[in-house]
Amino acid sequence: MTKRSVRIAPSLLSADFGAFRQAAMDCIEAGADALHYDVMDGIFVPNITFGTHPIAALRRDFDVHFEVHLMIQSPERYIEDFARAGADTIIIQPESTVHLQRTLALIKQNGKQSGVALNPSTPLNVLEYVLDDIDHLLIMTVNPGFSGQKFIPAMRTKIADAARMIESSDKDIVLEIDGGVTADNAQEMIDLGATALVSGSGVFGYPGGVKCGIKALLAAV
Ligand code: DX5
Ligand code: ZN
């Protein structure tokens, strides 16, 4: 098995919300390449998490790449707010907006990297005519809404298909996996073609805490 460079992005959704700043610092100190920030509105997904204020507060203290994953209905309403709050990459779900291309263009107009996250049942071909508009493709390997769910096995084929699609497009698009990623399956994700991994419960729930979890994940890839 070949060792490849991969970006590790711990999901703050699994952090202790009473110690958010410490959690972000622990992730950075342990070698995380980015912080994954899951925004949920209770409509697009059943859960509600956080908005722009926590990321703006973290942004003041940390010079790290923030990827904001918007699991909210009509995300076009909040692109400017998250751009201003300090997001570096803004990832939207095509199932949540009627005007996918327009919303991706809005992210770019705000000077940010644009990303698309696909629900497990959403086919890759929704991206066929927007590949010029995306920097980042996130394959959801659980149904969005909660951390701690099990990786859906059928997503292996989708990851490999997505990697092939990106390769044949000749574009520089990050292929990230989100949902049920742990040190045990991280190398398999990379072998399927992933170039970035999100992990929530896999790192925050690791024995010894998040620093040990990130180190275990980094050692596994
Ligand atoms: C789920 C979120 C994920 C979540 C991953 O809707 O998009 O980013 O935090 O958590 P784990 O790694 O525990 O599946
Ligand atoms: Zn996410």
pLDDT in tens, 109-127: 999 999 999 999 999 999 9
Query: 175 CB contacts (<8 Å, ≥6 apart)?
Result: 137, 139, 159, 162, 163, 166, 193, 194, 195, 196
Catalytic positions: 38, 178
Taking residues 134-156, what's their average pLDDT?
Answer: 98
pTM score, whole prediction: 0.97
Q: Collect residues with CB below 5 Å from ion ligand 2.
A: 38, 69, 178
Which residue bears the tokens 């952090």? 15
How sure is the predictor about 3, in pLDDT bands with cuts at 50, 70 and 90? low
Torsion of CA 60, 31, 16, 56, to 10 degrees: 20
Give the mean model confidence (pLDDT) for residues 147-158. 98
What value does the mean pLDDT take over residues 152-159?
98
pLDDT given for residue 5 in this prediction: 82
Q: Classify each residue of 1-28 as buried b or exposed e, where b means 16 or more C-beta atoms within 10 Å of its C-beta.
A: eeeeebbbbbbbbbbeeeebeebbbbbb
Q: Say how many Å lie between the CA of residue 43 and the centre of ligand 1.
A: 17
Pocket test for ligand 1, best of 47, 149, 181 (most atoms within 8 A of CB): 149
Ligand in nearest proximity to the CA of 213: 1
Residues 52-57 have a mean pLDDT of 98
pLDDT band, very low/low/confident/very high, at 2 (cuts 50, 70, 90)? very low
The mean predicted confidence, pLDDT, of the chain is 97
pLDDT at residue 143 is higher than 80:
yes
Provide the percentage of residues in the chain whose pLDDT is more than 90. 98
